[in-house]
Amino acid sequence: MTFRTFAVASVMATTMLFGQAMAADLVIYDALDQAGTAVKAFEAKTGLKVDLVEPGSTGETLGKIAAEGDNPQFDIVWVDGSAVLERMAEHHVLQPIPADVYGKVNFTAFGKTLIPASHAFIPTGASTTAIEVNTSKVSKADAPKSWAELVKYAGFVAAKDPNFSGPAYQWLAGLFQTNGVEEGKVLLTKTLTNKAISGLTSGGKINKAILSGNAKIGINQDSGILAQQAKGEPVIAIYPSEGSVVLPQGLGISAKTKHVDAAKTFIAYVESNEGQTAMQKGDDTDFYFMPIIDGVKAKAERPQIKWIVLNDKAASAHEIEWKQWYKDNFGQ
């Protein structure tokens, strides 16, 4: 091949790749199991093309966005955790969700409580953090009924590091909100005494530690526990007596997107009965979310829960500090 032929071929290949990259009507960064099924159904219904980018956990997704800095490559981000989305909006990574978008969504009464005053994001569903108990290791009678009772199982409690997990930070901030910051720190210091299982990076690793490792109890997203129950595993979810902080799934729109109309179209689909149903077509953790749209039933029922809505402003303001404290004390 001559240099000229090679050069022409290279330009054509680059042009084709560039064209493919530009072909997407919407670029979505996500850390949720059901994003793929929702996007596939959305594309089939609307004919719009979505480039779905899945860096991994919420922490990894946010890390990718941070690394892109002033040149963000996403139009929408879809993750768990109102606090992290609030912080992104405060730092002008996200633009407010337009008021007319909220007005077209048929939220349940519970769903309406999750709409942030800042309009930093729009909730698409919810879950919470519960106490996961392996009933083959701990009897239901002896299982802890509150966060405070976790101390009885010090050294055998598995937990996620909030530096890697959006849901884990939402839980940590919620614990500090309900118990008090210093009191919460004392409780965790007395409970999470085994670093081999106190700084795990995912709910899947918590399940593994509980089912086949040396953990008996886990602090885990309840949708992940429900998914394990559906597979026949000997685990139950206990909702603590202090209350359970709500963990919204949220869609945020990039402050620099040039595809606001496509973003609005995607949000409208996800917030419809059809979209919410598409989001449930799978067996992993996030498919067991709690729908917040009228007329949509969850894959698994939850008992009556004492819900606590997180103070996102406070959680966002202390995010770096509290994450570092957790890493210093319990990280691997």
CATH number reported for the structural domain that contains residue 153 in this entry: 3.40.190.10
| Blockwise average pLDDT, block size 10, the chain, 332 residues | 37 40 84 95 97 92 94 96 94 95 95 95 97 95 96 97 92 95 98 96 94 95 95 96 95 97 97 96 94 95 92 92 97 86
Contact (CB, 8 A) for 175 and 147: yes
Q: Is residue 201 situated within a structural domain? A: yes
* Pair 69, 209 in one domain: no
Task: Specify the pLDDT at position 11.
Answer: 37
* Pair 213, 82 in one domain: no
Distances in Å between the Cα of 268 and the Cα atoms of 101, 102, 137, 220 are 7, 9, 45, 30
Question: CA nearest 58: which of 237, 199, 203, 157?
Answer: 203
Task: Specify the pLDDT at position 132.
Answer: 97
**What is the C-alpha separation between 69 and 124, in angstroms, rounded?**
26
* Pair 46, 184 in one domain: no
* Pair 117, 131 in one domain: no
Phi, psi angles (nearest 5°) of residue 117: -60, -30
Task: Specify the pLDDT at position 57.
Answer: 87
* Pair 184, 321 in one domain: yes
The token duo for 63 is 């890390």
Question: CA nearest 168: which of 152, 182, 188?
Answer: 188
Residue with tokens 């963990």, as numbered in its chain: 247
Q: Cα(first)–Cα(last) distance of the chain, in Å?
A: 53
Task: Specify the pLDDT at position 332.
Answer: 82
- Residue 240: Cβ within 10 Å count: 23
Contact (CB, 8 A) for 108 and 224: no
Task: Specify the pLDDT at position 22.
Answer: 52
* Pair 293, 147 in one domain: no
Contact (CB, 8 A) for 84 and 319: yes
Q: Is residue 310 situated within a structural domain? A: no
The token duo for 215 is 């953990």
* Pair 272, 171 in one domain: no
* Pair 157, 8 in one domain: no
The number of distinct structural domains making up the chain is 2
**What is the C-alpha separation between 59 and 166, in angstroms, rounded?**
6
Single pTM value for the model: 0.86
Q: Specify the amino acid at residue 171.
A: W
The stretches of the chain forming alpha helices (DSSP H) are 3-22, 35-46, 58-68, 82-90, 99-103, 109-112, 166-179, 181-191, 195-198, 203-212, 222-230, 260-270, 273-278, 312-317, 319-330
**What is the C-alpha separation between 290 and 216, in angstroms, rounded?**
26
- Residue 309: Cβ within 10 Å count: 15
Classify residue 47 by its DSSP letter. Answer: -
The token duo for 185 is 């720190």
* Pair 138, 268 in one domain: no
* Pair 221, 79 in one domain: no
Write out the residue range of the structural domain in which residue 220 sits: 127-245+315-330
